[in-house]
Amino acid sequence: MNRRLKGIRRTGIKNKDTMNLRVNVFYFGIFLLFCTIIIRLAILQFVEGPGLKDLETIRQVKNYPLEPVRGSIIDASGTRLAYSTSTQALYITLLKDYSSSDIGKKNRIEAEKLATEIVKVLNQYGRPTVDKLTIEDVMKSMDLDYKMQPGYAPRRIKANLTAREVAYFMEHKSKYPGIEVVEESGRQYNPDKVAVQTIGYLKEFQGTKEIKKYKELDAKNKTQKDPGLMYTEREKVGVDGLEMMFQEMLRGKNGYMRIPVNPRNMVDGVPTMISPEIGYNVRTTIHKDIQVAAQQAIVDQLQWLRTHPVSGKLHPSAQTGYAVALEVDTGNVVAMASIPDYDPNVWEHGSDDWSTVLNHYRNGTISPYSSGRSGNKLESLVLLGSTIKPLTVLIGLNEKLFGPNDYYNDQGAAFFGKDNSKVRNARGRAFGALNARKAIEHSSNAFMVDWIGEKLYTKYGSQSIEVWDKYMKDFGLGVLTQSGLPYEHVGTIEYKNIEQAGSYLAAMAYASFGQSGKYTTLQLAQYASTLANRGERIKPQLVSKIEDQNGQVIKEYKREVLNTVVFSEQYWEEVIAGMNTQGLRAFDDFKFDFARKTGTSEQDIYVDGQRKRLENGVFIAFAPREKPKLAVAVVIPEGGYGSQSAAPVARKIFDAYDEVYGLDGSPKLLKE
């Protein structure tokens, strides 16, 4: 009995201990739970609170973007070449639910009344020549059932408001809830078609994502915090020329409406508007008078070549022409002409002949693509022809292949290689004894092949190609000019194609007189200016400065030397003196002594299996010969001899520059 009582007593004590343990564990768990809740609340309030507050604000306020207003592109004379025209548009933000829901149906009568009032005002103060808006038109634009845009987004009712319409709605704003007059813009280009391919054009952002620049901006949009820098899908952006090159400067910042929104995505309060900021103005170095003169000179010369025999024949396939004029001392490009051109306002207003526009809307002075083709489909990149010879002779002198006073006996042709390949002078003329200077003046192919091409190969063997290539690139041939223009072509180097040439010797022979490299007109102009600057290759500048709308200078662009080639001063004297092509009728009465070199590059095509040899006119020059001011390069595909096709264009460009700025530093217009 006693044993049994003792067992029961021990069991009771044990159960009591277990119960106490469970109660303690329970209370301890409750304590931990409350501690966790308190800590979490503290974190929410003091750590995550500001972020959650911002998130709440973002959820409650929507930013509706308004397109930015682009700055202008202004030429060196102050003429606007590209500019934005300001227009006013009427927008409405829906402050109530007017949809087909039960609540919306009750409010619909208010929307109809508002639409009726708006139509009445627009018809009273709008342009009488413009089609009148109807109540149905306005109701459709209001998009009451959110078919085209979210409930909070402003709806555009009418664009291009008259001054009277703007004044009325601004004065009676309180009478029309949700109404806003918003500034918009359209892009216009100078009607005289001034350097249109250089200026460029605009395209909607949504259609530019294949361009690296805008693909990156599209990705950046997703994390952009500043609503003024957000790109909208329908915003117009530059896709070529200066419009693209200076996109960020020209764009400015878009405005936006800050719209309070309720959980149903409807406006919940009064929207506020942040106006767009106008972009900066870009001052280009292009001068309208010189540019128009260059364009017209090419048009006139092409017409002349097609209607007047040159060297005994017409040139009906001469249908394109390209010219660049670049200041030697500053690097400023004063003219950049690519013909045919077009009216760039088609990008804003449309065209009935897009196929023609798309054939030459790109800049042929920097690229062969979509920039016009001659009658036999030759592009804007042509072989240099004899314009390479000043550099060829410089290389020969610098490599000590001959001296300034050494004479070569020109018999009218040069022979090279095991197969005794023959290169003749133009018309097979034999010039007799020639030194370096006279070899350039008479444009002797034989001299170039025998004394430079073959001798350079003898000195360096297969490495002669790399030696030649280094010289070419030092003078801007086969490298980008660094102008900054989009889509600039590097040129086509053919002298490295040994298989095509047949041997390293043949490659050097053909390269020596300009038959192994195709380059852009801008590269030719930079090459000419490098000769004029005696070895300094300068960057072509297309913009002089960036200004804000008050005329304050934001950034200036100065002369920039890209690289310098050092040669003996005696060599420079010989070569520049040799740039003295005779028989240029276009320059008969030109009052300045000037350095020049004509070129006639030959190019073979095949028609029905038959080889046809075409001649392209090329010309480079700088004036005056001493203290040069302007370098000019002209290319006329299928124009025949450069002296008769390209040189007359250059003469008119020099004359235009002399009128505006003065080749001697004294503008002729001011004198008059």
Name the maximum alpha-carbon separation found in the chain. Answer: 150
Pick from 467, 404, 469, 472: which is nearest to 440 by CA?
404
329: part of which helix (H) or strand (E)? none
Q: What pLDDT is attached to residue 448?
A: 98
Which of the listed ranges 42-56, 115-129, 146-160 does the model predict with the highest average pLDDT?
Answer: 115-129
Reported confidence tier of residue 489, pLDDT bands at 50, 70, 90: very high
Mean pLDDT, residues 383-394 taken together:
97
Q: What pLDDT is attached to residue 7?
A: 54
Is pLDDT of 525 > 90? yes
Q: Are 581 and 598 in contact (CB under 8 A)?
A: yes
Dihedral in degrees, nearest 10, Cα atoms 392, 398, 401, 407: 70
Mean pLDDT, residues 62-89 taken together:
90
Q: What pLDDT is attached to residue 609?
A: 83
Reported confidence tier of residue 672, pLDDT bands at 50, 70, 90: very low
507 vs 516: CA distance, rounded Å: 8
351 vs 348: CA distance, rounded Å: 9
In whole numbers, what is the pLDDT of the chain averaged over residues? 90
Q: What pLDDT is attached to residue 402?
A: 97
Mean pLDDT, residues 572-577 taken together:
98
Q: What pLDDT is attached to residue 55?
A: 47
Q: Are 114 and 176 in contact (CB under 8 A)?
A: yes
Q: What pLDDT is attached to residue 191?
A: 94
549 vs 538: CA distance, rounded Å: 30
Q: What pLDDT is attached to residue 669?
A: 67
Q: What pLDDT is attached to residue 12?
A: 55
What residue type is 458 in one-letter code? T
For the stretch 223-260, pLDDT in tens is 988 888 889 887 899 999 999 999 999 999 988 878 78
Is pLDDT of 181 > 60? yes
Q: What pLDDT is attached to residue 238?
A: 97
Q: Are 620 and 523 in contact (CB under 8 A)?
A: no
Residues in the chain: 672
Pick from 294, 295, 316, 317: which is nearest to 373 by CA?
317
The residues that bridge with 89 in the sheet, in sequence order, are 182
Bridge-based pairing of strands 281-284 and 73-74 is parallel
| Sign of torsion over alpha carbons 50, 55, 58, 59 | negative
449 vs 401: CA distance, rounded Å: 12
439 vs 249: CA distance, rounded Å: 49
Mean pLDDT, residues 357-383 taken together:
94
Q: What pLDDT is attached to residue 132?
A: 86
The residues that bridge with 563 in the sheet, in sequence order, are 537
Q: Who has greater pLDDT, 269 or 548?
A: 548
For the stretch 36-73, pLDDT in tens is 777 776 676 666 665 555 544 445 787 778 888 899 99
Using alpha carbons, list the distances in angstroms from residue 169 to 127, 157, 180, 641, 662. 16, 13, 8, 67, 54
Mean pLDDT, residues 179-195 taken together:
90
Share of residues in the chain with pLDDT > 90 (%): 69
Neighbour count for residue 597 (Cβ, 10 Å): 28
Reported confidence tier of residue 304, pLDDT bands at 50, 70, 90: very high
Q: Is the peptide bond before 316 cis (omega within 30 degrees of 0)?
A: no
pTM, 2 dp: 0.83
What residue type is 283 in one-letter code? R
Residue 229: exposed, middle, or buried by beta-carbon count in 10 A (0-12, 13-18, 19+)?
middle
438 vs 133: CA distance, rounded Å: 78
Q: Are 495 and 505 in contact (CB under 8 A)?
A: no
Number of H helices, E strands in the chain: 24, 26
Spatial CB neighbours of 121, under 8 Å, sequence gap ≥ 6: 165, 168, 169
Q: Are 257 and 273 in contact (CB under 8 A)?
A: yes
For the stretch 587-625, pLDDT in tens is 999 999 999 999 998 888 888 888 888 999 999 999 999
For the stretch 424-450, pLDDT in tens is 999 899 999 999 999 999 999 999 999
* Of 217-221, 255-259, 449-453, the least confident: 255-259
DSSP helix/strand/coil, 352: coil
The residues that bridge with 545 in the sheet, in sequence order, are 283, 556
Q: Who has greater pLDDT, 258 or 331?
A: 331
* Of 6-10, 238-242, 388-392, 543-547, the least confident: 6-10
